[in-house]
Amino acid sequence: MTDHQHSTAADRSGADATAEDTTAEITTASVTTAEVTTASAPSRTGEGDGDTPVVVVDDVHHSFGSGPQAVHALRGVSFEVRRGELTALRGRSGSGKTTLLNLVGGLDTPTAGRITLDGTDLASLDEPGLLALRRDRIGFVFQSFGLIPVLTAAENVGVPMRLRRMPAKEREERARTLLALVGLADHAEQRPGELSGGQQQRVAVARALANEPDLIIADEPTGQLDSETGRAIMELLRAVVRSESVTILVATHDPNLIELADRVVELRDGRIVGTDTSAAGA
């Protein structure tokens, strides 16, 4: 009896340290992945500081055009994306989701307000600085996959690493590890046209992870997939949040995806009208 209680307590005390190890295969693969690139990975400034949000959006406004024709896509948006969480951005078509993701990803500059990524004010970066930020710190996943048709799955995953001039052998090895992580070990040599939509999006997720980003930005990643395939992609993203300790900001209409989010930020007409915290990540 005492023994039993003791062993239970021991299991519990070990639970925190090994929590990530329970994520089955994905974790095993990710450990290898981490080892492969430790040498060339950039230091992540905010890492280890568990409470620093990865993204801080502070009173951001964004308009397209000017004068009476101006479209005010964002009208004073403030929120934070916490490290290691999956945050879903929800809202009707035209509510400003893509606009907001583009600003957070440094693809566009807000008309007013401030966005910081890991403590770096995006406004302080020039164009090469933004380019490096997008290449090294952010992974993008789009509704339409965005793969290069003439490249194989492995080569597509290798593109961001190529941009960082990672040596070919290391790059190929890591591309294969990442494809295994997303369940496509046997499809590395196929081109996007020879893969299903769900498989293509898995390749895109692997590519987004290539440079060990701090943040993955996904715009309607399940929008072109049937609900079952979309759910699988969503669960993959969810698993990746845990095993790769990345942070994800995803715009979506998909109820499956919203269900799995740690936090849901609701946009309406360019304003945040609600923030929900769910139990999915607990």
Ligand X SMILES: Nc1ncnc2c1ncn2[C@@H]1O[C@H](COP(=O)(O)OP(=O)(O)OP(=O)(O)O)[C@@H](O)[C@H]1O
Q: Which of residues 223-242 bind ligand X (CB under 6 A)?
A: none
CA 219-55-159 angle, to 5 degrees, is: 50
User: CA Rg, the chain, in Å?
Assistant: 20
Exposure letters 89-116 (e unless 16+ CB within 10 A, then b): bbbeeebbbbbbbbbbbbeeebbebebb
Q: What is the nearest approach in angstroms of ligand X to the Cβ of residue 215?
A: 18
Q: What is the nearest approach in angstroms of ligand X to the Cβ of residue 135?
A: 23
Which is nearest to 215 in space by CA: 117, 132, 125?
117
Q: What is the nearest approach in angstroms of Mg ion to the Cβ of residue 98?
A: 3
Kindly tell me which residue out of 17, 93, 149, 282 binds ligand X, with binding defined by CB under 6 A: 93
Q: Is 94 in the site for ligand X (CB under 6 A)?
A: yes
Kindly tell me which residue out of 9, 19, 71, 273 binds ligand X, with binding defined by CB under 6 A: 71
Q: What is the nearest approach in angstroms of ligand X to the Cβ of residue 51?
A: 30
User: Tokens in use for 85?
Assistant: 């969480």
Torsion sign (Cα): 183, 185, 186, 190: positive
Phi, psi of 75 (to 5 degrees): -125, 60
User: Tokens in use for 141?
Assistant: 């996943």
User: Tokens in use for 122?
Assistant: 């995006």
Instruction: Pick the closer one to ligand X by CB: 141 or 154.
Output: 141
- Kindly state the number of chain residues that form the binding site for ligand X, as judged by CB under 6 A: 11
Point out which span in 13-21, 63-71, 91-99, 238-246 binds Mg ion (CB under 5 A).
Answer: 91-99
Q: What is the nearest approach in angstroms of ligand X to the Cβ of residue 75?
A: 11
Torsion sign (Cα): 47, 82, 107, 240: positive
Instruction: Pick the closer one to ligand X by CB: 153 or 250.
Output: 250
Amino acid at 154: A
User: Tokens in use for 48?
Assistant: 């280890």
Point out which span in 29-37, 92-100, 224-232, 259-267 binds Mg ion (CB under 5 A).
Answer: 92-100
Kindly tell me which residue out of 18, 64, 226, 276 binds ligand X, with binding defined by CB under 6 A: 64
d(CA 38, CA 260): 30
Kindly tell me which residue out of 30, 33, 98, 247 binds Mg ion, with binding defined by CB under 5 A: 98
Instruction: Pick the closer one to ligand X by CB: 107 or 280.
Output: 107
Phi, psi of 131 (to 5 degrees): -60, -45
Instruction: Pick the closer one to ligand X by CB: 193 or 255.
Output: 255
The gap between the terminal CA atoms of the chain, to the nearest Å, is: 30
Q: What is the nearest approach in angstroms of Mg ion to the Cβ of residue 97?
A: 5
Instruction: Pick the closer one to Mg ion by CB: 97 or 176.
Output: 97
Binds 113: which of Mg ion, ligand X, none (CB < 5-8 Å by kind): none
Contact between residue 48 and residue 62 where contact means Cβ atoms under 8 Å apart: no
Q: Is 96 in the site for ligand X (CB under 6 A)?
A: yes
Binding site for Mg ion (CB under 5 A): 97-98
Binding site for ligand X (CB under 6 A): 64, 71, 73, 91, 93-99
